[in-house]
């Protein structure tokens, strides 16, 4: 059996799955239910200074597939709207009742050193395991000079991180906003400020939909709407990219990362870890399916690790990083082509439509004497773009096969067509 226990910057948890700072971790009631279900840790929903926050109604909206499956949701909820002391008391009690679980406290405080100092002192009294700086919240808080307003300015990230390191003994995790042009600038700033780790990504500015009757977006508050923070499965590719960029950058590669962004299944989690994350944080999946999915996350990850012989998550952490490179270093002589398994083909012709209309006219459609249709790859025309494989509704019907080009590895820096070739 694989060992799922996790040690992230000295913070121990029985498994690498933490609930991210969000509505599910807003109060002890939820957190206790989460721990009972088996979650390894929580990042308590962001605390702010009193007086407590005032929220709006409603707060969430969804981006769905036509079939109704949810791709992502967005929210315009602010930090915790409960009195600070209530949260602090509950955190202290929670840590007492669940000593083996990780309890991290997320914070968002005005950009003054004394405010942070005071807040950190009160938080330290809860005996929590660490703090996470919320520099990402894209809605509401930036207007008050907090959240993404700080996270988008590397100098502020560095400054506030440094204050925190100065005023607390607790590990400091800096949560990064994706609403920037280059994640490395924020990651570097956190590093310079002395952050023990970064966590990413926070939510992405978004408008999920427009109600064409009311001409208002969603969630609508009295007919008006605002950009919300996008999360869920749809943001995973963006999050993985940002995690990957930090992991492969020489200056930031040793910076511990807690991976966040659309983790829905064990495989998503394994991908974040393979790209260098030390653990993962989950929110949307729990909001959509309940805390019970922790069973599926742990079980799936454990079984896969067993199948690969990985004894713990450190055994495969970062293994996908060395293969992440720049386009210019890809082998221009590597060639694959599509192959259609005629026995598996159901003759829908989706591959044909895709290739004929929008790609390389590399699939032929022939009606046989019996009236059935046969789709075949015209190999000389196939560039191996994968579009047919992506569109095929039958698993493993279309596979991509390697063809020997008979030429050695050559990348763009070596190619004769490159005017800047050395």
Q: Which residues bind other proteins (CB under 8 A)?
A: 66-68, 344, 346-350, 352-353, 365, 373, 393-394
Minimum CB separation from other proteins for residue 64, in Å?
11
User: Between residues 66 and 307, which has the closer beta carbon with respect to other proteins?
Assistant: 66
C-beta of residue 8 within 8 angstroms of C-beta of residue 279: yes
Minimum CB separation from other proteins for residue 385, in Å?
18
β 11-13/6-8 pair status: antiparallel
**φ/ψ (deg, to 5) at 374:** -120, 125
Token digits for 213?
Answer: 């009757």
Token digits for 197?
Answer: 């780790």
User: Between residues 30 and 353, which has the closer beta carbon with respect to other proteins?
Assistant: 353
Residue among 137, 164, 345, 382 flagged as catalytic: 137
User: Between residues 51 and 393, which has the closer beta carbon with respect to other proteins?
Assistant: 393
Burial of 111 (0-12, 13-18, 19+ CB in 10 A): middle
Extract long-range pairs of 141-146: CB within 8 Å, 24+ residues apart.
141/78, 141/79, 141/108, 144/110, 145/110, 145/111, 146/48, 146/108, 146/109, 146/110, 146/111
Minimum CB separation from other proteins for residue 344, in Å?
7
Q: Is 388 a known active-site residue?
A: no
Preceding amide of 235 cis, omega within 30: no
Give the three-state DSSP class for 192.
helix
Minimum CB separation from other proteins for residue 357, in Å?
9
User: Between residues 9 and 348, which has the closer beta carbon with respect to other proteins?
Assistant: 348
Minimum CB separation from other proteins for residue 346, in Å?
4
C-beta of residue 261 within 8 angstroms of C-beta of residue 239: yes
User: Between residues 250 and 343, which has the closer beta carbon with respect to other proteins?
Assistant: 343
Catalytic residues: 137
């Amino acid at each position: 059996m694989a060992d799922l226990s996790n040690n992230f910057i000295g913070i121990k948890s029985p498994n690498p799955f933490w609930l991210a700072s969000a509505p599910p971790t807003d109060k002890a009631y939820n957190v206790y239910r989460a721990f009972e279900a088996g979650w390894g840790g929580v990042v308590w929903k962001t605390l702010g200074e009193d007086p407590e926050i005032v929220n709006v109604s409603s707060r969430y909206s969804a981006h769905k597939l036509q079939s109704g499956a949810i791709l992502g949701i967005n929210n315009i909820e602010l930090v915790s709207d409960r009195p600070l002391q209530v949260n602090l008391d509950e955190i202290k009690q929670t840590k007492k009742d669940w000593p083996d679980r990780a309890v991290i406290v997320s914070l968002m405080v005005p950009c003054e050193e004394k405010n942070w100092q005071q807040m950190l002192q009160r938080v330290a009294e809860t005996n929590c395991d660490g703090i996470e700086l919320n520099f990402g919240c894209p809605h509401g808080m930036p207007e008050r000079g907090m959240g993404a307003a700080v996270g988008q300015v590397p100098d502020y990230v560095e400054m506030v991180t440094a204050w925190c390191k100065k005023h607390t003994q607790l590990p400091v995790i800096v949560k990064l906003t994706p609403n920037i042009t280059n994640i490395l600038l924020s990651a570097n700033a956190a590093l310079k400020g002395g952050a023990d780790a970064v966590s990413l990504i926070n939510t992405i500015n978004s408008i999920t939909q427009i109600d064409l009757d009311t001409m208002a977006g969603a969630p609508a508050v009295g007919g008006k709407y605002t950009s919300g923070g996008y999360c869920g499965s749809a943001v995973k590719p963006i999050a993985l990219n940002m995690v990957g960029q930090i992991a492969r950058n020489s200056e930031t590669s040793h910076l511990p990362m807690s991976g966040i962004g659309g983790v829905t299944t064990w495989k998503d989690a394994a991908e974040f870890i393979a790209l260098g994350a030390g653990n993962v944080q989950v929110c949307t999946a729990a909001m959509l399916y309940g805390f019970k999915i922790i069973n599926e996350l742990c079980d799936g990850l454990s079984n896969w690790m067993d199948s690969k012989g990985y004894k713990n998550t450190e055994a495969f952490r970062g293994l996908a990083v060395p293969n992440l490179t720049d386009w210019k270093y890809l082998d221009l002589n590597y060639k694959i082509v599509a192959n259609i398994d005629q026995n598996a083909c159901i003759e829908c012709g989706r591959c044909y439509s895709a290739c004929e209309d929008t790609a390389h006219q590399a699939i032929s459609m022939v009606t046989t004497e019996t009236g059935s249709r046969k789709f075949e790859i015209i190999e000389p025309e196939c560039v191996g773009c994968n579009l047919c494989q992506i569109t095929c509704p039958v698993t493993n019907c279309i596979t991509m096969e390697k063809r020997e080009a008979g030429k050695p590895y050559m990348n763009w820096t070596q190619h004769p067509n490159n005017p800047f070739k050395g």
